[in-house]
Structure 1
Amino acid sequence: MTTIALFGNPNTGKTTLFNRLTDSYAYMGNWSGVTVEKKVGAIKNSQLAVVDLPGVYSLNPLTKDEAVATNFLLNEPQDIILNVANAAQLKRNLLLSIELLEFGKPTIIALNMIDSLRKLGISYNLDVLRHAFGCNLVATNARGNKGVQDLKQQFLQAEPDLTPNTFKLEYSSAIQTAIKQAVRGLQRNYNLGEQFASWLAIQFMNANKAVITYAKENNLTPLLNQQPYYEAQHFADKIYQARLEFIEATLKEARQQAQNPRITDITAKIDRVVTNPVLGLPIFAGIFFLMFKLTFDWVGTPLSNILDQFISGPLSSSANQLLTTLGALPFLHSLIVDGIIAGVGGVLVFMPQIFMLFACISILEDSGYMARAALVMDKLMSLVGLNGKAFIPLIIGFGCNVPGIMAARTIEQPKERLITTLISPYMSCSARLPIYSLFVAAFFSKHQAAIVLSLYFLGIAVALVLAKIYQSVFHSEETSVFMIELPEYHMPQANIILQGTWDKGKGFIHKAGTVIFGGTVMIWLLSYLGPSGVATNVGQSFSALIGRSLLPLFHPIGITSWEAISAILTGVLAKEVVGSTLMVLYHTAGRSMLVAALAHLFTPLSAYAFLVFILLYIPCFATIAIIKAETGTWKWAAYSVVVSLLVAYGLAFFIYQGGLLIGLR
């Protein structure tokens, strides 16, 4: 199997091109840090594997995800390098290209987003660029699927005959002499190939942190002994300047001005409004409010009601009749009807709302707005010692906290990265959506979108307040530099929206068949059995005993139902299980019946306090595990559990008791 390593700056369409090449789908977005782990695909009818690496501006890593790309070159096998460059931003993008070409492997540069270049009224002579960089270049527009087949053919032709590229940049005589000396020592003492030794030497002189670490781990003395000399001679600055001068001269020679520029200023006109310091935040809030109106009022809820009628009606009654006809044991009969169908089915009825929400998020990503959202939030984030880059993981957390926390790898400063990791679980992930849907339908039917929006914004507010506290506690004074490219606005494409929605939503269906199914069976068993065996009614079950024992603790925040407490406990497994637990414990056959049951056990005030508690309390098991993985210790995972529980209880207590004081109910 031949391995193609896919490199490129953020926002060059790299992941889109990966999907086109491999006929598969990977998560896409218009912001830096969307690809936090390598993804592997295969080109059909070939022995070619494509590895999609995180977007990087250079091979000198500043963040954890950038280190993945450099370490892949150092430690993993690769046969061909595909470098994706934004054709409209070549002066910056080609800096990475030079670093990759110096590695010596066969390299193809894809000049992607070629349509954006043409809109500027500019074109480049590809033959001039090919000659200058000593490798092949292919013009592509991955979004429009143009040039992709030509690129595939390049790989298929290169597969049997992998010829190294011929690029070699002439640096100053002092640097050239230092490179030759280092290469001789590395070849003689460490048996390294000339090309790899040369690349190591250049990267070491360029103060590449990953390469310096590699040199120390392998005790590469020809480099380590000369490090003070390299630094004293400012080789890193001179290398950068030599590369930049070469790129500028090459582009000047290759540039061709088109006769009819078609560039429009529509993107700039829109940005003057949506990124306005005064209007930006209200527009952001308005867009999210519209998103929730579509999810809960206009599209998602009506479709959920139809699905609920089917599951609680024909499906449940048919299963009931079939099991009765077959003479199924009462235990099995109850497990299937009252446990699996009521529990798992009761969660699946929320699929339309969840998929509607993900469709809206995919539209915002594909249109280019999400990058603007991070820019708009930059000023607000700076007040708590973070920046817009930290808001990107929080946005991703609206879908799921796990990839949101993983996206914090894009943050350079360790303390800033830790703070972002600790506040990410307060983002309202999609798993909480079924719970919101139940309660807003029962208590806030005329204001569903507004109530859900308030919960999302409350999660952001709590996260920002804690971030400010952590900044003081951790003495986090250094902040990352926030740089983000604002891509052109695009008309969202139906296939990308459908793929994006499915990729985000399929995890919910997978959970329904695994975690939710297992949790439902566990809850059913606890409600079916009691201290004396089979419970004659649910009030004598283990679930009831556990829930009632905790009632005094939850009564101050308005929770007077032991069933709700049991649901809270199982929600630590996965937040979706809260809904299925309520379905099982209330013995309801459908969503509408559960909504009616809830109306007798909560008041609007206690219902909102309950939702606030669900929003903020202990993260699910998967989130706890990823916090441990990203911080490298269980200490911060345990800390997150304790603090989130205290914050949730304290805020729910304040809302409920405060509401009672002013006469709410």
Structure 2
Amino acid sequence: MNIKIALAGNPNSGKTTMFNELTGSSQHVGNWPGVTVEKKEGILKGHKGVTVVDLPGIYSLSPYTLEEVVARDFLLKEKPDAIINIIDASNIERNLYLTTQLTELNIPVVAVLNMMDIVEKAGIKINTDKLSKLLNCTVVETSAVKGTGLKELASKAVEAAKTNVKIIPTIEFSKYVADSITRIEDIYNSCEYSPNSRWIAAKLFEKDKLVMESVKLPENFKTEIMEIVEEAENKYDDDSESIITNQRYEYIEKIVKDTVVKQRRNGLSSSDKIDSVVTNKFLALPIFFAVMWLIYYVSISTIGDMTIGYVESIVESIQTGVENLLVSTGASFWAIDLAVNGIIGSIGAIFTFVPQLMILFFFLSLLEDSGYMARVAFIMDRIFRKFGLSGKSFIPMLIGTGCSIPGIMASRTVENEKDRRMTIMLTPFVPCGAKLPVFAMFIALMFPGAAWVGPSMYLIGISAVIISGIFLKKTRLFAGDPAPFIMELPNYKLPRMKGVAIHMWEKAKSFVVKAGTVIFLSCTVLWVLQNFSATFEYLGAERVDESMLAAIGGSIKWIFVPIGFGDSWAASVASITGLIAKEVVVATFASVGSVIPIEFTQVTAFAFMVFTLLAAPCFAAIGAIRNEMGNWKWTLIAIGYQTGLAYVLSFLVNTVGSFLLRGTSATERKVLDISIMEEAAEGAVVNGDIVLIIFTALFLVAIGFMIYNKFSLYGKKAEAKA
């Protein structure tokens, strides 16, 4: 017997942690049919044949975003055997709004009071038995973080699914509203039948657009329903959706009054005390930068750096073993070179950074699970709004730190079309996981021990977003007020190590899978281009300058001369191969750098990092931009702006940095040799002053825009008064 259970709840209710605990390692991640919203499924631990589906976080069944539409459509059309409704027990009033709607769907519901450990610490007492009677469904107390109550929850959910006992809604509307809904239900039932007829009638009363479009009623019946709704709106002097919303909250207020006893507490809560520091308008940004600096220092420059030598030795052992095997079988030289250097060597250079990235993903998962990353979005809203952007734009950018593609897709939560397009355009400026190996490579080879370089990429990315926001909002294409931003800040909590480990593994696995598919193919193509002429004559390392790759690089390297790395055709080629996948940049340097010297200075290396950070993303991300923009015109505008800004800022870094730091170690040319990464990391000299100069230049530009923006605003006000 196959059973499907849906996991539904508000954002920040602990739903993801609960899903991880209930399913363990048996999770499958994909996309919902027809849309690009992430879909998570897993087998319920200890219950074969029981699938748990993690729905996107929703506040109600009145959808405004694509994620909410997906969640509601699944509940209505897929008809799961039961619903596990995750309720943040520390904020029960708001969470019960969704519960009152779920109990109307004619599907068995198990209400889960999660975060009971926080409730107990706060001195709050909840009468679970009484709450169960008032909601007319099973209620279970849990703490997903501590792993308590989960076995009981699993058995209750399976029992509810098997017995299939439908819930009789207990929601109490006023007599007039209840009678109006009943009249609408009778009209609907006279034409169609649905087990959710009561819920549909309530939604028709609310004038829910999606429900009104989906029901097949004659026009005269629709007119009659609208007359009933208008009568209610005239009586209450309010719109029908607000009438239902208000009466639901009045009912919830009664439930909470009868079941929840709150202890009076003096002073601020622990979360409020922490927020008074980390969200302080003066301290918030320095703290954020300090946190990111510490993460990069540990992940890349210290513990992460120690792992490089171990991974390199493993790759070298594999190369030696494969080479000996192929030689013993009489393989030709070019076949040995392809396998040992073209494939294993190039992919091995990328795998060198896997331990560093896993450490980095681990710390980022800690920040996300603790509740701090939600504060970062709040902090950025205060900044973004001053530059014409909404805090809603930062959420996709935050998601884009893992991968730009889901970040671009998350722009659907921005209602304003102009803001949405600008968000899509600017999201790739935030460093994604695919760019991190490029940064890690240059940090190890050109900036060893300099923990500021990694965080500087985030700071430059955010600065580029802010500067772009100021500039683009002054253009006709993006002018207008930013969309309003409302966000709930969850309580701080100790991260659940198991959930953090799962999140870290998912990120690392995604990276490894890409290395085994896209990057594998790319490395093979690169080796062929590097070792063969246009007539497909095998050249080998000695004649690499006659290869197809050299011809391609030589024809375009003039473009990159002004930004500092056009002297080498290899660096020019790496800039282009990054369009396949940003990790391929490392593979390109590893492949070409093994046969010809590639030279950089610290200034030009930093310029290359800035260009990689801001230029057009990979082809997959460009495809996502095309899907979200809806046409190639806007896609080309986005790509053109991204690459143009990358070129300008890289030019500034190279020109200003080379002029101000001439004669120092920062302008001494050094061979970029990935094969001696460990030695380079131990022996290179770093001139840390470069970061101060570059940041000063960027902030002077930003301040200049701010001043211009301020005077422009005053000028408009003066004109208005005149």
The answer to whether TM tops 0.5 is: yes
Which residue is equivalent to 1:270? 274
Deviation of 1:394 after TM superposition, in Å, equals 1.3
| SS at structure 2 position matched to 1:489 | coil
Instruction: Confirm or deny: 8 A CA contact 1:119 1:262 kept in the other structure.
Output: no
Which residue identity lines up with residue 269 of structure 1 in the other structure?
K
Which residue identity lines up with residue 551 of structure 1 in the other structure?
K
Instruction: Confirm or deny: 8 A CA contact 1:19 1:25 kept in the other structure.
Output: no
Which residue of 148, 161, 164 maps to 1:162?
A: 164
Q: CA offsets, 1:196-232, max 9 Å, x none?
A: 22211212222434323434x7777634653365254
Instruction: Confirm or deny: 8 A CA contact 1:612 1:651 kept in the other structure.
Output: yes
Aligned: 1:329 with 2:332: yes
Deviation of 1:133 after TM superposition, in Å, equals 1.2
* Separation in 2, partners of 1:262, 1:223: 54
Moved more, 421-430 or 652-661: 652-661
Which residue is equivalent to 1:254? 259
Matches within 5 A, 1:294-333: 294-312=298-316, 314-333=317-336
Matches within 5 A, 1:126-137: 126-137=128-139
* Separation in 2, partners of 1:224, 1:578: 62
Which residue identity lines up with residue 515 of structure 2 in the other structure?
A
Q: CA offsets, 1:123-169, max 9 Å, x none?
A: 22122111111111111111111111111111222233201101232
What is the count of residue pairs matched by the alignment? 644
Which residue of 509, 513, 527 maps to 2:512?
A: 509
Aligned: 1:640 with 2:645: no
Moved more, 332-341 or 479-488: 479-488
Which residue is equivalent to 2:11? 10
Instruction: Confirm or deny: 8 A CA contact 1:390 1:408 kept in the other structure.
Output: yes
* Separation in 1, partners of 2:28, 2:163: 32
Instruction: Confirm or deny: 8 A CA contact 1:66 1:410 kept in the other structure.
Output: no
Which residue is equivalent to 1:222? 221
Deviation of 1:543 after TM superposition, in Å, equals 0.1
* Separation in 1, partners of 2:41, 2:545: 52
Which residue is equivalent to 1:282? 286
Q: CA offsets, 1:172-210, max 9 Å, x none?
A: 333223222221221112x222x4222112122224343
Which residue identity lines up with residue 226 of structure 1 in the other structure?
I
Aligned: 1:353 with 2:356: yes
Which residue of 507, 527, 549 maps to 2:555?
A: 549
Aligned: 1:56 with 2:58: yes
| Distance of aligned partners of 1:257 and 1:397 in 2 relative to their CA distance in 1, 3 Å threshold | closer
Q: CA offsets, 1:539-575, max 9 Å, x none?
A: 1110000100112222111121011111222110000
* Separation in 2, partners of 1:10, 1:574: 32
Q: CA offsets, 1:39-71, max 9 Å, x none?
A: 222324343322211111111122222222222
| Distance of aligned partners of 1:72 and 1:160 in 2 relative to their CA distance in 1, 3 Å threshold | closer
* Separation in 2, partners of 1:492, 1:255: 27
Moved more, 470-479 or 126-135: 470-479
Which residue of 584, 592, 603 maps to 1:577?
A: 584
Which residue of 102, 116, 121 maps to 1:100?
A: 102
CA-based RMSD = 2.5
Q: Normalising by structure 1, what TM-score?
A: 0.91
* Separation in 1, partners of 2:381, 2:440: 31
Which residue is equivalent to 1:414? 417
Which residue identity lines up with residue 347 of structure 1 in the other structure?
I
* Separation in 2, partners of 1:578, 1:199: 54
Deviation of 1:577 after TM superposition, in Å, equals 0.6
Q: CA offsets, 1:584-633, max 9 Å, x none?
A: 11226xxxxx9xx44xx222222221111111112101211222233333
| SS at structure 2 position matched to 1:299 | helix
| SS at structure 2 position matched to 1:212 | helix
| SS at structure 2 position matched to 1:497 | helix
| SS at structure 2 position matched to 1:310 | helix
| SS at structure 2 position matched to 1:49 | strand
Which residue identity lines up with residue 137 of structure 1 in the other structure?
V
Which residue is equivalent to 1:591? none
Which residue identity lines up with residue 482 of structure 1 in the other structure?
F
Which residue is equivalent to 1:32? none
Unaligned runs of 5+ in 1: 29-34, 589-593
Which residue is equivalent to 1:498? 501
* Separation in 1, partners of 2:5, 2:220: 32
Instruction: Confirm or deny: 8 A CA contact 1:182 1:223 kept in the other structure.
Output: no
Q: CA offsets, 1:629-655, max 9 Å, x none?
A: 333334333332222222222221222
| SS at structure 1 position matched to 2:19 | helix
* Separation in 1, partners of 2:26, 2:249: 35
| Distance of aligned partners of 1:338 and 1:558 in 2 relative to their CA distance in 1, 3 Å threshold | same
| SS at structure 1 position matched to 2:5 | strand
* Separation in 2, partners of 1:371, 1:136: 31
Higher relative contact order (CA 8 A, sep 6+): 1
| SS at structure 2 position matched to 1:241 | helix
Which residue of 583, 604, 610 maps to 2:602?
A: 604
* Separation in 1, partners of 2:403, 2:346: 22
| Distance of aligned partners of 1:649 and 1:535 in 2 relative to their CA distance in 1, 3 Å threshold | farther
Deviation of 1:261 after TM superposition, in Å, equals 8.1
* Separation in 2, partners of 1:534, 1:221: 78
* Separation in 1, partners of 2:3, 2:218: 31
Which residue is equivalent to 1:78? 80
* Separation in 2, partners of 1:417, 1:153: 43
Q: Normalising by structure 2, what TM-score?
A: 0.84
| SS at structure 1 position matched to 2:145 | helix
Moved more, 653-662 or 47-56: 653-662
* Separation in 1, partners of 2:228, 2:142: 43
Which residue of 602, 606, 631 maps to 2:629?
A: 631
Which residue identity lines up with residue 528 of structure 2 in the other structure?
L
Which residue is equivalent to 1:31? none
Which residue identity lines up with residue 511 of structure 1 in the other structure?
K
| Distance of aligned partners of 1:315 and 1:580 in 2 relative to their CA distance in 1, 3 Å threshold | same
Which residue is equivalent to 1:456? 458
Which residue identity lines up with residue 304 of structure 2 in the other structure?
G
Which residue is equivalent to 2:568? 561
Q: Identity, % of aligned pairs?
A: 35
